[in-house]
Amino acid sequence: MKSRKQILLSHLIIGLLISAAPSFSYAQGLFSFLKKPKHQYIELSVNDHQAYLLLFNQTPQHRDNFLNLVQQHQLDSTLFHRVINGFMIQGGDPTSKGAKKGQKLGGGDLGYTVPAEFRDSLFHKKGMLAAARDNNPEKASSASQFYIVQGKTFSDEDLDRIEENRLEGKKIPEFKRQVYKTLGGVPHLDGNYTIFGQVVKGLELIDMIAEVETDNNDRPFADQVMTVRILKNKEIRNLENELRADTALAKIIDNPDY
């Protein structure tokens, strides 16, 4: 039989455990708050409108290169100098900063390339961020020039023709076909340019830029000047909480290998 002291000690221990419970819960919340996000995000601003892009961990060299460009403000004040409605918007040419009206752009670079990082799970659906490049045989990417896919939707007949005429008979998997038939994109670019990010919010900005009037070189008559910054951890947490309403995005957000 328990003594009076043993009973009092038991009650004391139970009381301490109960009082500690809120502190433990608080510690869990604090740990979650301080935990480093699984992905990095970029805010792209053009004409006082914003789009938010997730950078893929599957393409670490392109991710890290892009983050470095943003940290050094190398993309700020560059233009979306090549805009083709129903196709894509391209920017990042360092020579586009302060370029004169009508000046042909697209030839500028930073003197190095990034090795290709092709991933079968990443394809040219609408909203994808990809690296531009010249015709080098390794398909290495430009250091700074990039594009965001706008694209269009396709029928099965359209996709069959693309397989035959543009992809040299290579078949487009059924899951990609469904995306190209509904959301849209640019399927003939798959396997030729590295995709390294995705617009997760503000896709309407891409459509807005794609619809501006352009000259014979596809340069907009009205300059589409960009400002780019890296989101802070608190901003990332708020954005991801909002994005988790979309099941497909939630799977990407919660997968550190994506």
Give pLDDT, residue 143. Answer: 98
Give pLDDT, residue 215. Answer: 97
Distance CA 44, CA 37 (A): 19
What's the average model confidence in pLDDT over 176-185?
98
Residues of the chain with pLDDT > 90: what percent? 85
Number of H helices, E strands in the chain: 7, 10
Lowest mean pLDDT among 26-30, 53-57, 194-198, 220-224: 26-30
Which ranges of the chain would DSSP assign to H, the alpha helix? 4-34, 60-71, 156-165, 174-182, 203-210, 233-243, 247-253
Distance CA 162, CA 112 (A): 32
Instruction: List the one residue out of 106, 100, 99, 110 whose CA is nearest residue 72.
Output: 110
Distance CA 146, CA 67 (A): 13
215-247 tens-digit pLDDT: 999 999 999 999 999 999 999 999 999 999 999
Instruction: List the one residue out of 105, 48, 109 whose CA is nearest residue 81.
Output: 105
35-52 tens-digit pLDDT: 789 999 999 999 999 999
Summary mean pLDDT of the chain: 91
For the entire predicted model, the pTM comes to: 0.87
132-159 tens-digit pLDDT: 999 999 999 999 999 999 999 999 999 9
Lowest mean pLDDT among 19-28, 92-101, 143-152, 161-170: 19-28
Distance CA 82, CA 216 (A): 10
Instruction: List the one residue out of 233, 231, 253 whose CA is nearest residue 242.
Output: 253
